[in-house]
Structure 1
């Protein structure tokens, strides 16, 4: 494991899992059933992706202990939880700022993408690339703006929220960061970070962009428990839990 790149709003960690643990989570992914889902950003332009049913884990001391492995839980889940815990500058303090982490598998085939967006109702997210091979010419980069979107002054009058997000990405003075979907690479992303998945090039052929992706759920004050429950319901919907 090594820190390959970092910014104010993201971390890139290469060689994240040992080979045995990487093969274990790939095997878990292969056993999952996938179904097509339309993009929630630009359905007509983005095309469809494939998503598996997900899992939601509540953070606790046992899950984060290096000496404790929850029975039946893939090692990758435990490793991701530990990594999220160790990057408090990205996600905040566990149990205080966040309490749950969702996991689901996604596949993007040639010709598909996910347009510019800004995830809400979460403390951040992670993307872990699971395909066995990837060439830079196949594109599918995770592209993000390493800047606070709220600080970018753009006239968004008459724009929809998604149009406003893309306008900020297009007109910001900051350079965009493109992260190649290298196998066994983990990306941690801070809440409010504008990002997209670039279209997978047709030269990828039958190879799909495969990830384990999830959101880190917020843990608001007690008086906001009802809103917290709604956020968890939204998170569960995104992960296709049930």
Structure 2
């Protein structure tokens, strides 16, 4: 006998590997829809943001907003933290970082139109990585804000001109562009040249919202 009452059953998708390269991996479906909405509600109601001066190119990068001093353990419930850990582990395995897990300390970011972050690398532990989770309620391909990276170590880029904007023209690896699709996670190895393309005016009042942190290996 069928026990189907005819009520729709919501399908909860697990974190899923989207694509990867030598120095980055992308995972979609980090959170359930309910978890993502709860995070956005807390981000809007409880967190305090301040203007963050760009350490790379303050003249042209604009003025994004940052809420620092937050922790996954204080923002997310156990189920949501478990999904982040699963997503980071999934990305880490594709980068030969089998023990990858997210550090607890995180930052929330808001990038309005005109804001980006010029070419740089995060330095730090050669074997480490950073993660980004995109949490904007909506994003479109014409709104900019993509993560662009050189898929090779910084030491592989010839330092010929002592001017990064010129030297990157001779970078050996391909340029990879990752769209800030909502509910997407990116893990990127440190010592990787990358930039955040400026948010386009077409985004209007929409903010490129994200959570960032470090990954232990």
TM over 0.5: yes
Shift of 1:16: 1.9
What residue number does 1:139 align with? 144
Residues matched between the structures, number: 198
Contact 1:121 1:217 in 2 (8 A): no
Shift of 1:4: 1.3
Gaps of 5+ in 2: 1-14
Q: Name which of 27, 31, 36 aligns with 1:17.
A: 31
Contact 2:144 2:197 in 1 (8 A): yes
Q: Name which of 131, 134, 137 aligns with 1:129.
A: 134
Structure 2 CA distance for partners of 1:79 and 1:98, relative to 1, 3 Å:
closer
Contact 1:142 1:181 in 2 (8 A): yes
Contact 2:26 2:185 in 1 (8 A): yes
CA distance in 2, matches of 1:52, 1:71: 14
TM-score, with structure 1 as normaliser: 0.73
1:43 match: secondary structure: coil
CA distance in 2, matches of 1:206, 1:91: 39
Task: Compare 47-56 and 127-136 and name the one that shifted more.
Answer: 47-56
What residue number does 1:200 align with? 199
CA distance in 2, matches of 1:168, 1:23: 42
Contact 1:91 1:98 in 2 (8 A): no
What residue number does 1:154 align with? 159
Shift of 1:93: 5.5
Contact 1:91 1:190 in 2 (8 A): no
Contact 2:56 2:117 in 1 (8 A): yes
User: C-alpha offsets along residues 168-187 of structure 1, whole Å, 9 cap, x if unaligned?
Assistant: 43321432111111111111
Contact 1:101 1:216 in 2 (8 A): no
Larger radius of gyration: 2
2:82 match: secondary structure: helix
Gaps of 5+ in 1: 58-69, 219-242
What residue number does 1:190 align with? 189
User: C-alpha offsets along residues 27-72 of structure 1, whole Å, 9 cap, x if unaligned?
Assistant: 2222211111110100011011100123357xxxxxxxxxxxx687
CA distance in 1, matches of 2:115, 2:75: 33
